[in-house]
Amino acid sequence: IVLVTGVQTCALPISAECLQWSSRGGHVHLVDLDEKQLQEGRLYIQQLRAATVGHDGNWGDITTSSPNSLKSILQDAWLVIEV
């Protein structure tokens, strides 16, 4: 799992990293207090996926949550990006 906290400031470079990880089947978990920001972050990564040419593999999951579940998510995280 790659965990990204603070999605409201999750700009293009972070989204590109999420896309790359997800393109290899890796799970990306977005965490933020604002549900709207979470949905926008998820939508942006999905749009990047749709624009990707030549991807033949399986995409990894993208999940979202509030910081309340951060402790349990961190237990399985391989990489944490706080923005």
**Per-residue tens of pLDDT for the chain, all 83 residues:** 676 766 655 555 677 777 788 888 988 888 888 888 888 888 888 888 888 888 877 899 988 988 898 888 888 888 787 76
Per-residue pLDDT at 81: 75
Per-residue pLDDT at 26: 87
Residue 52 three-state SS: coil
Whether residue 53 contacts residue 19, with contact meaning beta carbons closer than 8 Å, is answered with no
Q: Enumerate long-range contacts of 73-77, CB under 8 Å, 24 or more apart.
A: 73/1, 73/3, 73/29, 73/31, 74/3, 76/1, 77/1, 77/2, 77/3, 77/29
DSSP β-bridge partners for residue 80 = 3
